[in-house]
Amino acid sequence: GEKVPAGPCPRSRTRHSAAKADGTYDVCIIGSGAIGAAIARELSKTTASVIMVEAGDDVSQGATKGNSGIVHAGFDDTPGTRRAEFCWKGNQMFPGLDADLHFGYQLTGSLVVAHGPKEEEHLQELIKRGETNGVQNLRIVRGDELFKMEPHLNPEATAALFSPDAGTLIPYEYTIALAENAADNGVEVRIRREVESIDKTDDGLFSVKAKHWEPKSYLESSAEGLGNYYGGVGENGPTESHPELKVMRKKVSVPEMKVGGSGSRAANDGVVVGEEEVRARYVVNAAGGFSDKISAMIGDDSFKVKPRLGEYVLLRKNQGHLCNHILFPCPGPLGKGILVQKTLWGNLILGPTARDVHEWPEGELKDPDSSEEVLGKILRACRHLVAGFDTNESIHSFSGARAKTDRGDWIIEPSPVDSDFIQAAGIDSPGIAGSPAIAVEVVDLLRKAGLQATPDASFNPKRAPIIRP
């Protein structure tokens, strides 16, 4: 059962506090995407007092919700990098995690598809790279075997690298499951908290100050009574003042994506209702696209986030039969390429692009490419893999801003400015795959920094299933 007894839940936070008797915490995690939530759950296995604060209006509102939901195997990552170190290790943890948390995980396998001898040479390079990274079960498939696996594949495909260990999940369901289980095991969670400053006090604790915001529509409706979650007629919330959202024309800016995207204060007409201080011995920076700004608050300017925008098109479930595995092209200089994939729910998803925002001539608020240009790029690339999908069956498009940095690799380390401040920053693809292994590493770094956190005998790894795909 839950460590926290049932009872009324206050708004925008868990109903319990994890603070110690003096009001302080052992660890404050900033950011509740897949990385922050995984770290929170890992820490909930211990006796540490932990709080997780999030700028958006729920967990998973940043890059976590705007991605493919692929648990990569790790054969594409450059050997010796943090990506290569944690991807395969994390990949192997997912079946056990799903058995405990019931977020829904499907071991679909992936195919990197080659068209011709030159690309087939690259498949051999990927196998060698994968073997160096410890990835198992890789092999080349071709001919009848390939087209039996994927009957609708472009007939010009000549071979593919098959990795049976790649899987699919719904990224926000995964993150919600982690956060719920962490909360059930005592972690305090506060959402709609924008961190604005971090200082070190004379007693050696961090003072993390945050603005607490709520949607304007909620505040207006709650003045008349209890109110609805969003307030107003039909609980439409932001759509009352932004009717373009109803037809999905609202475009969230890149700066807003860094602090929650469609769940950010700006996108929800948020109003600051208070300021809070969290005092903690250690801070973990898992703030995704905003992680460089969080780091700079302690004087650590060792990296800068350079967002890479990725757009997707989602098709109806009647298109899902067109692929059985995650289908990648041979990767290029900007990543794994634009792919075709069946989601956990059976829809077909196309994307993502890889557009570096720092290269936009007029800055991150002025997109140089039209929606038509972006859509055309996605469709052309995906038809090279599977030609037969029907774009009339599209139901949604969305984008996410990946937290790439000028360091070129994941940043998982104590800050050089303060060893009590642990960086879990710049974690782009394959971050979801690596997330459970990254969490283990971060807890180890906290212990090396001095965190006294013994295993908690009352830890309950199980989450009651709500939806099981």
pLDDT digits (tens, 9 = 90+) for 74-123: 999 999 999 999 999 999 999 999 999 999 999 999 999 999 999 999 99
Q: What's the burial of 74, exposed, middle or buried (CB within 10 Å: 0-12/13-18/19+)?
A: buried
**Spatial contact of 27 and 281, defined as CB atoms under 8 Å apart:** yes
Within 170-251, strands assigned E span: 188-190, 193-200, 206-215
At 354, the amino acid letter reads: A
Q: What is the pLDDT of residue 257?
A: 84
For 239-267, the pLDDT digits (tens) are: 444 343 333 344 678 888 888 888 899 98
Residue 259's pLDDT is what? 84
Query: Cβ distance 432 to 71 under 8 Å?
Result: yes
Instruction: Indicate yes or no: pTM above 0.85.
Output: yes
Q: What is the pLDDT of residue 250?
A: 46
**DSSP letter string, 79-113:** TTSHHHHHHHHHHTTHHHHHHHH---EE---EEEE
User: Roughly how many angstroms between the first and final C-alpha of the chain, as a whole number?
Assistant: 23
H/E element holding 148?
A: helix 143-149
Instruction: Determine the distance from the C-alpha atom of residue 31 to the mean position of all C-alpha atoms in its chain, rounded to a whole number.
Output: 10
Amino acid at 210: A
pLDDT at res. 220: 76
Q: What is the chain's pLDDT, residue by residue, as a tens digit (469 residues)? A: 456 666 677 899 999 999 999 999 999 999 999 999 999 999 999 999 999 999 999 999 999 998 899 999 999 999 999 999 999 999 999 999 999 999 999 999 999 999 999 999 999 999 999 999 999 999 999 999 999 999 999 999 999 999 999 999 999 999 999 999 999 999 999 999 999 999 999 999 999 999 999 998 888 776 543 333 333 334 333 444 434 333 334 467 888 888 888 889 998 999 999 999 999 999 999 999 999 999 999 999 999 999 999 999 999 999 999 999 999 999 866 567 999 999 999 999 999 999 999 899 888 888 999 989 999 999 999 999 999 999 999 998 989 999 999 999 999 999 999 999 999 999 999 999 999 999 999 999 999 999 999 999 999 999 977 755 5
